[in-house]
Every structure is written in structure tokens, then in C-alpha cells.
Amino acid sequence: MTTGTIERRSKGADHNGKASVTELDRLVTESANEASQGLDTKSALEIARIINHEDAKIAAAIKKSLPEIAIVIDNVARALRDGGRLIYVGAGSSGRIAALDASEIPPTYSTSPQTVQYIMAGGPKALASSMEANEDSRELGQRDIARRRPTRKDIVIGISASGRTPYVVAAIEYARGRGSKTAAVTCNYNSELATVADVTIVGEVGPEVVLGSTRMKAGTAQKMILNMITTGAMTRLGYVYGNLMVNVHMKNSKLVERGIRILTQACGVDHDTAVRAIKASGKSVPIAMVMLKANVDKQEAVRRLHRADGNVRRAIEDTTLDL
């Protein structure tokens, strides 16, 4: 484990793993926020200021977990490079944030929808409807992850603000038992989820402005952490060149223009040269970039990218170094 002191499930939990009142009292995410006392008596501007002041604490809280985030970035990159999958597991707000991150990877980096997936308590219907009761079921968590048949090639990440959601805990426990790498993203230290994950990332952002409304600071922290994980992994895989999104999938006019602009910036060519390269490459920015930077034809660019496992910089330099 890469977490600090870890505690087992509290004796106050019932047989379904549901928290007692005393357990919830111990969660930072469920405690009262002194800064927002009397919120309902404030003006709109005062409410906005209070929320903004609390939100300003989020990045500093996440900074404390950068070493763990880096470990997970490399674990995800290795899993995807070796043909595995990243599978998120969440419930409620955490599940919706996971679904958002998973759904944005294919259009951003031209990956298969199977590469980054999500499992949510209540299924896809829970994205728009309240089905939070499902998060209390360990059986459903095990069943849903079992249907994805996790293997040693995969990495499964559980997301839970409290760190004690039975659905998520059971899914991570099951995946780890099948040999998958596992990680947890929580907003409370010493959580049950930490006891079943290989690596735990904690964004302890403190009490919410509205007590227990973890779609707020906790949700923002989780979104920031997942952004770091997938962006970092895709960058390590070579789908980013410099800071340019070179694996962009050009499915509409805006993205075609973005691809052209990426080539002009990265390769130092004019607009017309970039357009010709895009056409010659079959509308592939990575192929076009290798053609221009390495001064090779399409066939050689494709060969280089294949040898480099899709890593654009390595294809340009024609190296096959490991991650």
C-alpha cells in the first residue's frame, strides 16, 4: 500500500457496510463548514464569495497527493501500452465524474471506447437519474466488475468521496483478486477503500459549503485528479507532442482546423503545407507529423509509429525505448 495509516471497517457499520451516524461524523466530507454558517441568509454575491473561497483550497489539497498520482499515471500508461484497460468504478457524483472522463478520452486522443471505461452503480440510467441506493450493494459492485472480466493487464480505479461506498469497495476488491492493478481516489484519509487498493490518492478538501454535498469541492477534486491521470497517461504513451494534442481525431471542421494548426506549430510549416500533409496522411495528424518532422513518406511514417507503439516523438526519432 502507498497510503498512510489504514483502518479497517468501523464496528459501527451494519452488515451491508452502511455507515452509522457516528461513522459519518468522522468523515471530513460530512462535517460542518464554519465558513458557510448561515448560508441561506446571505446575498447571491456573498454565497458566490464563500464558495469561491472554499474552492480555492482544492488545488493545494491535491498537491499533497502528487506522488501517488504519478504512480497511477505510470500504472495506467503501462496497462494501456500492454493492451489492458483503465476501468473506473463509482457511484453517484463520483460515478458521473468517472463517466465524463472516460467518455472524453476517445474524441480527445483517438482511442477505442474500450480503452477507458466506467462502471457506475445503477448503470447508465444513473447518469441522469437518482439511483444512489445501488451504491450500498457489495453484490452489485462485484457483479458489475465481474462482467468486465478484469485481468492482470487492466487497472481498475475506484472513486468515492467518503472512501467507504460498498459498491466501489467490493468492485475494487474483486478486481484486485483477479490480478488487476487497482487504485482509489477519495477525499478522506484512512478509508476502507484504501485497504483494498494498491495505491490511494486522497484529495482531502475539507467540509463542503453545503454539508455533505460532495458534488462540490470533493467532486471538483476528483475531476482534477482524473484529468491528471488520463492526461498524464496519454502523454506518457506519446499521444501528446510537446504540449500539443497530436492524436486528435478529426471528425468535424473544428478538429480538422485544429489538426492543421498543430502541424503548423509543431513542424514550422505554413497552412498550405500542413493541409497537403493532412491529405497525404489520410487525415492522421500523427502520420502527417512524422512525415514532416522525419522527412519520410506515409508508408515509412506508419512503420515508425507501429514500431514506437504510437508514440509520436519516438516515431520521429525512430526509437523504441520503454516507458
Q: What is the pLDDT at residue 274?
A: 94
Neighbours of 18 (CB within 10 A): 12
Of the residues 135, 173, 204, 208, which is catalytic?
A: 135
Burial (Cβ within 10 Å: 0-12, 13-18, ≥19) of residue 60: exposed
User: Which pLDDT band, with edges at 50, 70 and 90, does 11 fall under?
Assistant: very low
Q: What is the pLDDT at residue 124?
A: 86
pTM, entire model: 0.86
Angle, CA of 256, 261 and 264, to the nearest 5°: 130
User: Which pLDDT band, with edges at 50, 70 and 90, does 55 fall under?
Assistant: very high
Q: What is the pLDDT at residue 60?
A: 96
Cell numbers placing 14: 451494519
Cell numbers placing 228: 491528471
135 catalytically annotated: yes
| Packed helices 253-267 and 285-294: angle between N→C axes, nearest 10 degrees | 20
CA distance 242 to 225: 21
User: DSSP string spanning 167-216?
Assistant: HHHHHHHHHHHTT-EEEEEESSSS-HHHHHSSEEEE----S-SSTT-TTT
**Mean pLDDT value of segment 108-114:** 91
Q: What is the pLDDT at residue 289?
A: 94
Contact of 323 with 73, CB cutoff 8 Å: no
The kind and range of the H/E element at 117 are strand 116-120
Q: What is the pLDDT at residue 46?
A: 96
Query: pLDDT tens digits, residue range 156-171?
Result: 999 999 999 999 999 9
Between the CA of residue 215 and those of 48, 69, 91, 249, what are the distances in Å?
16, 21, 12, 31
Residue 229 predicted with pLDDT over 70: yes
Main-chain dihedrals φ then ψ at residue 232, nearest 5 degrees: -65, -45
In this predicted structure, which of 6-15, 22-31, 113-122 has the lowest mean pLDDT?
6-15
Query: pLDDT tens digits, residue range 294-322?
Result: 999 999 999 999 999 999 999 999 744 44
Residue 269 predicted with pLDDT over 50: yes
Q: Which residue has the higher pLDDT, 131 or 183?
A: 183
Q: Which residue has the higher pLDDT, 160 or 107?
A: 160
Mean pLDDT of the chain: 88
CA distance 81 to 187: 29
Contact of 202 with 188, CB cutoff 8 Å: yes
Contact of 88 with 57, CB cutoff 8 Å: no
| Cα 2 from chain centre | 19
Residue 183 predicted with pLDDT over 80: yes
Of the residues 23, 104, 132, 317, which is catalytic?
A: 104
Residue 4 predicted with pLDDT over 70: no
**Mean pLDDT value of segment 62-71:** 98
Q: What is the pLDDT at residue 321?
A: 42
Q: Nearest CA to 185 among 153, 216, 220, 213?
A: 220
Q: Which domains does the chain have, with CATH numbers?
A: 21-236 (3.40.50.10490), 253-317 (1.10.8.1080)
Q: What is the pLDDT at residue 27?
A: 81
The kind and range of the H/E element at 312 are helix 312-317
User: Which pLDDT band, with edges at 50, 70 and 90, does 67 fall under?
Assistant: very high
CA distance 76 to 70: 10
Percent with pLDDT over 90 in the chain: 72
Query: pLDDT tens digits, residue range 233-254?
Result: 999 999 999 999 898 877 778 8
Rg of the Cα atoms in the chain: 22
Query: pLDDT tens digits, residue range 206-217?
Result: 999 899 889 999
Residue 18 predicted with pLDDT over 60: no
257 catalytically annotated: no
Q: Nearest CA to 220 among 95, 55, 67, 110?
A: 55
Residue-wise over 167-202: b if at least 16 C-beta within 10 A, else e?
bbbbbbbbbbebebbbbbbbbbbbbbbbbbbbbbbb
Helix, strand counts (H, E) of the chain = 14, 5
Q: What is the pLDDT at residue 25?
A: 66
Residue 13 predicted with pLDDT over 60: no
